[in-house]
């Protein structure tokens, strides 16, 4: 019996010794590259300067080197590339009109196509663009007078302004005098063929030769009419001061005085009209439309469909 107890005690002591050794090994670190289950491996050490320089020397390119060696590193693909005058016929025609407006002289077709970088295009595309230029309302085609037959390569092209021939004060006055109606001339249309017309319009206005309508915000001229200088009269400055100090009577006083003098006012007092409208509208009530009964088909519901509107108070 004692021998059995001794063997159990010895086995227990041996197990405790083995457990203490294993816990000590786990706290000290992995032994022989073996990590106990349930424990975490230690973190890998950060590379030193020497290791990084050696890795770079081996041939691994850095991010800066990769960006520098990449040819399309600075290209923004979300925006269209700036190709100059565009590719569509509409945008190219707009650039052609603007260029001819600046030149203000007849230009051959190859000069226009050269400005738009279209000389390298196929001949069919160049011919199509020239035909569209001849049909454009703001471009004038001048045929070659020395040729009996014209082709798409012949002739010259000139900008056609909205108001042709008006580029000076004299021509502007002559154009206004030839008008058969009382409509004014838009300054925007004048600037299409005469961009620096603002100074001339201001001078003509000071000379009482034109009437000008200007914007209230910045005073820019908008419309121009012909004026008669003989009708211009100078007003005494003292009269201007007296007029500004004058107090006008109210609308009610004016209407009362006109009626007392036996004259009918040109217009009624809008405030009285508004008051009368409010009073008249308050007494009126919306009349409810009476329901007209048709032929009754639901005879079993006649007691429910009977008209009791005559009993309403």
Q: Write the pLDDT tens digit of every residue in 266-283.
A: 766 555 665 655 555 555
Distance between CA atoms of residues 287 and 72, nearest Å? 79
pLDDT band at 16; cut points 50, 70, 90:
confident
pLDDT of 138 reads: 92
Q: What predicted TM-score, i.e. pTM, was given to this entire model?
A: 0.48
pLDDT of 276 reads: 58
The residue-averaged pLDDT of 219-232 equals: 90
pLDDT digits 0-9 by tens, 116-175: 999 999 999 999 999 999 999 999 999 999 998 999 999 999 999 999 889 999 999 999
* Fold topology of 169-231: Arc Repressor Mutant, subunit A (1.10.10)
Share of residues in the chain with pLDDT > 90 (%)? 37
pLDDT band at 71; cut points 50, 70, 90:
low
3-state secondary structure the chain: CHHHHHHHHHHHHHHHHHHHHHHHHHHHCCECCECCCCCCCCCCCCCCHHHHHHHHHHCCCCHHHHHHHCCCCCCCCCCCCCCCCCCCHHHHHHHHHHHHHHHCCCEEHHHHHHHCCCCCCCHHHHHHHHHHHHHCCCEEEECCCCCCCCCCCCCEEEECCCCCCCCCHHHHHHHHHHCCCCCCEEHHHHHHHCCCCHHHHHHHHHCCCEEEEECCCCCCEEEEEECCHHHCCCCCHHHHHHHHHCCCCCHHHHHHHHHHCCCCCCCCCHHHHHHHHHHHHHHCCCCCCCCCCCCCCCHHHCCCCCCCHHHCC
> CA dist 251 to 91, 190, 259, 268, 273, Å?
59, 44, 12, 9, 13
The residue-averaged pLDDT of 279-308 equals: 66
The residue-averaged pLDDT of 191-201 equals: 91
Kindly tell me if the per-residue pLDDT of 53 is higher than 50: no
Only one residue has tokens 């005058």, namely 85
pLDDT of 141 reads: 94
pLDDT of 133 reads: 93
pLDDT of 84 reads: 47
The residue-averaged pLDDT of 304-309 equals: 75
The residue-averaged pLDDT of 39-56 equals: 47
pLDDT of 83 reads: 46
Average pLDDT, the chain: 77
């Amino acid at each position: 019996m004692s021998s059995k107890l001794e063997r159990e005690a010895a086995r227990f002591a041996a197990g405790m010794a083995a457990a203490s050794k294993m816990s000590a090994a786990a706290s000290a670190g992995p032994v022989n590259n073996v990590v106990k289950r349930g424990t975490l491996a230690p973190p890998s050490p950060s590379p030193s300067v020497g290791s990084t320089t050696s890795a770079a020397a081996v041939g691994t390119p850095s991010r800066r080197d990769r960006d520098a060696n990449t040819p399309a590193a600075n290209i923004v693909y979300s925006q269209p590339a700036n190709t100059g005058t565009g590719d569509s016929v509409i945008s190219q025609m707009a650039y052609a009109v603007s260029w001819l407006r600046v030149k203000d002289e007849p230009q051959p077709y190859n000069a226009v196509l050269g400005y738009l970088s279209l000389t390298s295009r196929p001949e069919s595309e160049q011919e199509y663009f020239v035909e569209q230029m001849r049909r454009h309302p703001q471009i004038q085609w001048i045929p070659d007078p020395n040729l009996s037959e014209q082709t798409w390569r012949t002739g010259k092209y000139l900008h056609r302004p909205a108001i042709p021939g008006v580029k000076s004060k004299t021509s502007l006055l002559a154009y206004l005098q030839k008008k058969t109606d009382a409509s004014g001339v838009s300054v925007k249309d004048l600037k299409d063929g005469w961009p620096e017309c603002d100074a001339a319009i201001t001078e003509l206005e000071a000379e009482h030769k034109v009437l000008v309508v200007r914007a209230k915000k910045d005073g820019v001229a908008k419309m121009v009419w012909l004026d008669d200088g003989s009708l211009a009269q100078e007003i005494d400055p003292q009269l201007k001061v007296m007029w500004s100090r004058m107090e006008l009577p109210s609308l009610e006083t004016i209407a009362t005085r006109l009626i007392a003098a036996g004259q009918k006012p040109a217009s009624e007092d809008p405030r009285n009209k508004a008051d009368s409208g409010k009073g008249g509208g308050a007494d009126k009530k919306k009349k409810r439309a009476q329901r007209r009964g048709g032929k009754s088909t639901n005879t079993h519901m006649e007691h429910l469909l009977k008209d009791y509107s005559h009993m309403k108070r």
